[in-house]
Chain A
């Protein structure tokens, strides 16, 4: 079994009209055994920028610490927050540094850029960026998520509809994946506010 599937994960981000949502499951397992059901895979970089790290949990946390460190140095030097595009390049560069002994993570980055234009992006474990206009998925439930998102996504959704769509897609996907699930965690980001919601799901 792949090291990417050791802990199990599901991460998804979707774009709406001047907003975006990013969601993940809450399970931390060791192969088939569930260890925690309140695990955080999505972290805030600043008010309008979030990153979800699927894959090996220990590498996700290490990578997150390095990213926060680099972002704080940037803030001190530039006296402003990083743009999502810049941050994606930073993540990509940090991953490629470890080209021949990678972090076993597939990141999902979502943020609001200039004039609150939503930006979402995913990359592989060595930093190859994939910029998408609609939605991105990652983790052990990625195939299920592709199917669900492909059927449910509509362009230019309002925030509340976007939240409903990403939640439905996330919950129905993780129910068909043994390694992810045990509830969901969704951030809905609009230019004015961030809504964080915990989803109840099947606990099996």
Chain B
């Protein structure tokens, strides 16, 4: 028997882009719905956004099998939290949990790039951005995934956030109104879709505010 080549990888990259923007009393989380592998499109209608708690929504790109496992792990931990504390987890708490969950697999990571958006205990919008092994930061806006290099400079240009090194710490929320933020998200995805082959088909936009959660969709280029 000849020796087999050891070229199998436990990982794949299914592409996709995620964006989240925090406002004074709202949070917008968006992602496209294309699922690809290599040059193939697996499906045009796959949601990368999951609601982890009442006021925490996560959008994830990367390897969707790992993302699924991560979501399952987080919802199991959230169920235990609900039984123990008789309340929903807050978004900053969920952010810490997500970081710990990612770091727990430091040496065989979840290949997942996440943005977590939601409302904090005061009802202010919050966005947390992660790497695959759990380093995270609270920011005013963020983008992750295959189109992030195209999206991030434009968000910087439109939403310049104060430096995180400033003392005293500045609020990182954006000055836009909710409608303006949703418009901006639609614009950046339309642009990213033009140049990134892994982004397209449909945009899913989730908005969190005091009145609850709202979902809307916009068609993107399908080529």
Binding site for B on A (CB under 8 A): 143-148, 150-152, 168-169, 172-173, 175-176
Contacts and interface: CB of A to CB of B under 8 A. Distances in A.
Nearest to B150: A147
A172 B150 contact: no
Contacts of A169: 153, 157
Contacts of B152: 144, 147, 176
B45 interface: no
Given A143-B150, A150-B192, A152-B157, 11 more contacts: A146-B195, A147-B152, A151-B154, A151-B187, A151-B188, A151-B191, A168-B157, A172-B153, A172-B157, A175-B156, A176-B152
A146 B154 CA distance: 10
Nearest to B193: A150
Given A151-B187, A151-B188, A144 B157 contact: no
A153 to B, nearest CB: 10
For the complex of A and B, list the 5 residue pairs with the smallest distance between their C-beta atoms, beginning with the closest.
A147-B150, A172-B157, A150-B191, A143-B149, A151-B191
Contacts of A148: 150, 153-154, 157
A147 B195 contact: yes
A168 to B, nearest CB: 6
A136 to B, nearest CB: 13
B194 interface: yes
B153 A175 contact: yes
B41 to A, nearest CB: 21
A51 B123 CA distance: 53
8 contacts: A147-B150, A147-B152, A147-B153, A151-B187, A152-B157, A172-B154, A175-B153, A176-B152
Contacts of B149: 143-144, 147, 176
A138 to B, nearest CB: 14
Contacts, number: 49
Interface in B159-174: none
B191 A147 contact: yes
B151 interface: yes
A173 B153 contact: yes
A175 B155 CA distance: 12
Contact of A172 (B147, B156, B191, B194): B156
A169 B153 CA distance: 8
A176 B195 contact: no
A144 B152 CA distance: 8
Residue with the highest number of chain A CB atoms closer than 10 Å, among B149, B153, B156, B195: B153
A168 B195 CA distance: 19
Residue with the highest number of chain B CB atoms closer than 10 Å, among A146, A152, A168: A146
B156 A176 contact: yes
Residue with the highest number of chain A CB atoms closer than 10 Å, among B151, B157, B195: B157
Contacts of B188: 147, 151
B157 A150 contact: no
A151 B195 CA distance: 11
Contacts of B157: 148, 152, 168-169, 172
Contacts of B154: 147-148, 151-152, 172
A144 B153 CA distance: 6
Residue with the highest number of chain A CB atoms closer than 10 Å, among B147, B187, B195: B195
B185 to A, nearest CB: 12
Nearest to B152: A176
B217 to A, nearest CB: 21
